[in-house]
Amino acid sequence: MKIVEKIRAKKASLRISSEDARLEARENRDLAVAAIHGGVRSKAWETYMRQFADNKDQLMRLIATDNTLENDDLKIKRAYVVGNAVCGSGTPTELDRNVETIDEGVREDVERF
């Protein structure tokens, strides 16, 4: 599954009106806040991003170890992946905002974790 598809699946699970979905949203927000404070090279960043990766190549894109750390477009997309999770009530509708092409050039056919 593509990164953006996993982000959309997370968004869908957060849209469910239930106590479980509210708890999941809170946990997701807390992971995102830790990632923001830790920075792109932190364990907290990797922990947050790991939920959107099926394989090593995808994770490398999300944690910027695929030689895209200085790619301005991907910097913005990675920031949105994390930042959209702390928008409170907007998270269930906005989690995938501005990340549509984050998968460009990432192989899906590699061994899964």
pLDDT for res 88: 59
Instruction: Return the higher-pLDDT residue of 25 and 93.
Output: 25
Query: What is the crossing angle of helices 19-38 and 3-15, to 10°?
Result: 140
pLDDT for res 113: 77
Contact between 21 and 13 under an 8 Å Cβ cutoff? The reply is yes
pLDDT for res 58: 96
pLDDT at 56 over 60: yes
Q: Which residue has the tokens 């702390």?
A: 86
Tell me the backbone φ, ψ of residue 112, rounded to 5 degrees: -75, 160
pLDDT for res 36: 96
pLDDT at 102 over 70: yes
Angle at 29 between CA 23 and CA 31, to 5 degrees: 105
